[in-house]
A and B are shown apart, each in its own frame.
Chain A
Amino acid sequence: MNNSLKIGDKTFTSRLFTGTGKFSSSTVMKDAIVASESELVTVALKRVDIANEDDDILSHLNHSRIHLLPNTSGVRTAKEAVFAAQLSREALETNWVKLEIHPDQKYLLPDPIETLKAAEELVKQGFVVMPYIHADPVLCKRLEDVGVQCVMPLGAPIGSNKGLKTVDFLEIIIAQSNVPVIVDAGIGAPSHAAYAMELGADAVLVNTAIAVSKNPIAMANAFRLAVEAGRLAYTAKLAPTKHTAEASSPLTSFLNA
């Protein structure tokens, strides 16, 4: 089975996407990303000085295997998001954008209405749009209809490390989706990542759990292995789970007597 993942015009070997926030230094960030073997790394546009070629974050991500995924974190409306994406396409020379519109400042929960509006416009303008959304199966279908190349439902609020609190809805999304499903936000431990992959998620995005670990490089490695294990388990088909032992068939055994 071909185990690579295709999104837009790119093919990924690694199904672990990572981020650049919260690290104690750019060097640690780079080493952790290299250890994760991630090929797609999100970076907040508001955090980088895009006019400056020597920007500390950007210069540390200058690596042939790493594709940059600029995100629009900080915008509150579709209009601002479209503007941010245009700015990033011009400055960073990529038409990929992680669409994040979370006007809610406390839990950073995404605004579905503005996100759908922005996604539609950005697709029209030729962007590869990766929308960060709540685990809402209907919204996923609506986004698919306007032409996004994948969906990124959350497992739990960003940075909460709580795991897959939305699992029942993620399962519906995965079952229904015609585009890759990337579980984003809330994944706090390698076991959560493995679980998402076992469910059939096409990839996961992990940032806080790696960046804030006492040893980000080892943790990046642990996530890499967990994502690989989860994917392998998914393709191998998990044995069905049973809640009770089935010793005999007391009701139907007479049929075979």
Chain B
Amino acid sequence: MHSFTSLFNRQDWDTIVADIYSKTSEDVETALHNNKRTLEDFKALISPAAAPYLEQMAQLSSALTKKRFGNTMQMFAPMYLSNECQNICTYCGFSVTNKIPRRTLTDVEILKEANFLKNKGYNHILLVTGEANKTVGVDYINKAIKLLNKEFANITIEVQPLDQNDYELLSKNGLYAVLVYQETYHKEEYKKHHPKGKKSNFYYRLETPDRLGKAGVHKIGLGALFGLEDWRADSFYTALHLQYLQKTYWQTKYSISFPRLRPHSGGLEPKVIMEDADLAQLICAYRLLDEDVELSISTRESEKFRNNIINFGITSMSAESKTNPGGYVVEPESLEQFEISDDRSTETITAMLKEKDFEVVWKDWETFSLAPNKHN
């Protein structure tokens, strides 16, 4: 079956790294002057040679974002449903090797957490679980979506990769988007970080966006986890993946997230440090490559960084996030996936956004294809 794998297998990691690091200021200037930018331009814009051009990149990025998205910021909140997981992921607090009590929310608990977020104003929600087929498989997720599709206008999930027919089922019940980060596109490093569990299958994960596209899920969120490998090469692969998907599944929307490794229980030190300036440069490079892709920033990032980066091209953000199941009201002390950095309240964040002349957007979706009972 047609998938990203064939294009992926024609790439060579080392050649890409060499290519990116050999870009010159001339390449960067050419990229900046081009009206339509290619993946070669993207390589120049994420290269060390582009670092001195960051202000110029930021201004271009900001203008392009304003034109396409206006003066708006979409708000969403994550809601962790379970920290049960059968995978070993060296960098993750939920890794099966981390011997800490696990928790999966019941229906009643899910509704309690939902109620808290609704009262805060959230209408777009991101449901997160670990990967534990018996307890939080597709049935559990389907039930959670059905439970919440009357409460929230927009439901996104970040759970284990599923099969196409699973995604079709979830879509029918109101699923809007799926976030699935490849973590790293470096196949051998990927194996090192995911030695056990279903997640150790590199290609099953790599082809997940293809299955999502075929299932007709409205939006697919891509990303790499920064800290595992060279962020520039991983970002190039992500951009390649994005462009492949856009051409293949043209009815689907796309978003990019920028998770940097954060401290967590039983944690791994990042192999590669991505500085704030690097992340700022990357965000601009994505916007200069693609005027339409949504760019999202989470509470992994610091207050200072978030206050400023929103002017660079970010289109959606979360606030006051908890990364543990029941973290908002049900069981604040359960095992969290990672420590967040920006712990300001939703009210503080929205006030900051208004101060900076952003319209805070709580709702930007309506599932018109859903069974009519939703709209009673």
Contacts and interface: CB of A to CB of B under 8 A. Distances in A.
B288 to A, nearest CB: 16
A23 B251 contact: no
Interface stretch (B66-74, B81-89, B191-199, B324-332): B66-74
A108 to B, nearest CB: 9
A22 B365 contact: no
A139 B172 CA distance: 32
Interface residue SS majority, chain B: loop
Contact of A212 (B67, B354, B361, B366): B67
Name which of A24, A44, A48 has the most chain B CB atoms within 10 A of its CB: A24
Contact of B72 (A22, A74, A83): A22
Contacts of A79: 369
Contacts, number: 79
A22 B66 CA distance: 8
Contact of A47 (B71, B246, B361): B361
Interface string A33-58: 00000000000111111000000000
Contacts of B292: 105-107
B359 A46 contact: no
Given A26-B359, A106-B292, A76 B366 contact: no
Interface residues of A, number: 33
Contacts of A233: none
Interface in B49-79: 66-72
Contacts of A22: 69-72
A47 B365 CA distance: 6
A225 interface: no
B363 A24 contact: no
Interface residue SS majority, chain A: loop
Interface residues of B, number: 29
A45 B67 CA distance: 21
Contacts of A106: 246, 250, 292
A75 B368 contact: yes
B365 A46 contact: yes
A46 B366 contact: yes
A83 B123 CA distance: 21
A157 B218 CA distance: 21
B357 interface: yes
B250 A74 contact: no
A84 B66 contact: no
A235 interface: no
24 contacts: A22-B70, A23-B70, A23-B71, A24-B358, A24-B359, A26-B359, A47-B363, A47-B364, A48-B363, A49-B153, A72-B368, A75-B369, A79-B369, A84-B366, A87-B366, A87-B375, A105-B246, A105-B250, A105-B251, A106-B250, A107-B292, A159-B68, A212-B66, A212-B67
Given A104-B250, A208-B67, 14 more contacts: A22-B70, A46-B153, A46-B366, A72-B368, A75-B369, A80-B369, A83-B372, A84-B368, A103-B250, A107-B292, A211-B70, A212-B66, A212-B67, A212-B71
Interface of B: 66-72, 123, 153, 246, 250-254, 292, 354, 357-359, 361, 363-366, 368-369, 372, 375
